[in-house]
Amino acid sequence: MGMIGGSLDGFIGSVHRMAAALDGTIELVCGAFSSNAKRSIETGNALDLPEDRIYVSFEEMIAKEAQLPADLRMQFVSIVTPNHLHAQPAALALKHGFHVLCEKPLAFSFEEAKKIGEHVKRTGLLFGVTHTYTGYPMVKEAKDLIAKGKLGKIRKVIVEYPQGWLSDPIENDGQKQASWRTNPAQAGISCCVGDIGTHAENLVEYITDLKITELSADVSSVVAGRTLDDDANVLLRFNNGAKGILIASQIANGEENELKIRVYGEHGGLKWLQSEPNTLIVKQNDQPTQLRRAGANHSYLSEHARLHCRIPAGHPEGYIEAMANLYRNFAASIHAFENKTSSNPLLDYPTIEDGIRGMQFIETVIASGKENAAWKQL
């Protein structure tokens, strides 16, 4: 693979590289790691890439790689730049025949996202979006339990993603992540909803296989002087009549990444927390609560879950492993694509549709917020 963005001075690039490397099936062969040529080269050198595969712009990388023999050139690009720098490289990569795995949110705007979608459709190439949390094995287990009807018809969902890291205006102190995420020119119309609200939205639609059809969002910029949102409380309604709540916050002082989902159906409920990702809690009125635990050797787990565990139960797997599952599955799909076979549908990953959906969600939430939490359809 080739990487766009992800220089050494950020953290996201290195996470992607670790995730891609974990299973030994993906090799980083080139990169345009920064729009700053010096920084790109430094990064490439640090990663022991050959000089001629370190590029100083994504345009250069895509153009030159496309000229390499098929067995030498990168097979796909991984885009880990800020939001406003997704669409152009994605479009160019697709145009030159490269599959794309792109950070979320997919694009700068819903409009832009739909255009990427058209490129994908036109080229017939593969496109993945790194909604990492759906890569956790117990998220797969949750999806499987619901799909099999173990909870009955879903009635209520509570999904939340509280963080505290933007409780203070750290963007003014030059913290890199904070700077671009709170900057409309780089992040688009949303900070909090775009960064973590979309994760919550993606997780809930993935696990339940329901669609949010309507929402009412109370959106805030809590920290003085901040242009974009840093907090949102959202009422949800789903296509099967279920209702829900989505909470996203970057000013929940003291919270790390407390992504949590609870789903209640006619026959039971389930709970999953990202901070304790190897356990899925399943509840039912007047029954003992069940803790289902990740582990490649747990025969009681669904095949979907077990396929996403690397090691036997009792050896905790974490965030990098979850992202590695996305990389592995994307690579498996590319392999199948190239060989004109089909890959195991359980080796799934978030697709261009998920990415577009996320952008639609962001725009709808922000629109509702601007109208005092008016109901908006999506």
Find the binding residues for a second copy in span 229-248 (CB under 8 A).
231, 233, 235, 237, 243-245, 247
Tell me whether residue 108 or residue 165 sits nearer to a second copy (CB atom): 165
Report which residue type is found at 369.
Answer: G
Taking CB under 8 A as the criterion, the residue among 88, 221, 257, 360 binding a second copy is: 257
Tokens describing residue 234: 């959202």
Tell me phi and psi for residue 82, to 5 degrees: -60, 165
Q: How far is the CB of 117 from a second copy (least distance, A)?
A: 29
Region binding a second copy by CB under 8 A among candidate stretches 52-60, 159-167, 204-212, 343-351 = 159-167
Tell me whether residue 89 or residue 244 sits nearer to a second copy (CB atom): 244
Residue 352: other Cβ atoms inside 10 A: 24
Tell me whether residue 211 or residue 267 sits nearer to a second copy (CB atom): 267
**In contact, 211 and 354? CB cutoff 8 Å:** no
Residue whose tokens read 């993945």: 128
Residue 283 in the binding site for a second copy (CB under 8 A):
yes
What span, in angstroms and rounded, lies between the C-alpha atoms of 197 and 189? 13
Degrees to nearest 5, angle at CA 94 with 89 and 96? 95
Tell me whether residue 109 or residue 132 sits nearer to a second copy (CB atom): 132
Q: How far is the CB of 24 from a second copy (least distance, A)?
A: 6
Tell me whether residue 21 or residue 147 sits nearer to a second copy (CB atom): 21
Residue 70: other Cβ atoms inside 10 A: 8
Region binding a second copy by CB under 8 A among candidate stretches 68-76, 180-188, 282-290, 334-342 = 282-290
Query: What is the length of the chain?
Result: 378
Pick the closest to residue 366 from 84, 151, 110, 50 (CA basis): 110
Residue 321 in the binding site for a second copy (CB under 8 A):
yes
Query: β-strand 376-377 against 212-220: which pairing, if any?
Result: antiparallel
Tell me whether residue 285 or residue 341 sits nearer to a second copy (CB atom): 285
Tell me whether residue 128 or residue 295 sits nearer to a second copy (CB atom): 295
Taking CB under 8 A as the criterion, the residue among 14, 183, 343, 360 binding a second copy is: 14
Taking CB under 8 A as the criterion, the residue among 45, 172, 239, 297 binding a second copy is: 297
Taking CB under 8 A as the criterion, the residue among 23, 42, 60, 144 binding a second copy is: 23
**In contact, 233 and 218? CB cutoff 8 Å:** yes
Q: Total binding residues for a second copy by CB under 8 A? A: 89
Taking CB under 8 A as the criterion, the residue among 311, 335, 353, 370 binding a second copy is: 311
DSSP per residue over 87-99, as a string? HHHHHHHHHTT-E
Query: β-strand 2-4 against 76-79: which pairing, if any?
Result: parallel
x/- map, 59-98, a second copy, by CB under 8 A: ----------------------------------------
DSSP per residue over 135-176, as a string? GSHHHHHHHHHHHTTTT-SEEEEEEEEE--TTSS-GGGGT-H
Residue 249 in the binding site for a second copy (CB under 8 A):
yes
Tokens describing residue 97: 């025949």
Q: How far is the CB of 282 from a second copy (least distance, A)?
A: 7
Residue 164 in the binding site for a second copy (CB under 8 A):
yes
Helix (H) or strand (E) holding 184: helix 184-187
**Which residues 206-225 are close enough to bind a second copy by CB under 8 A?**
216, 218, 220, 222
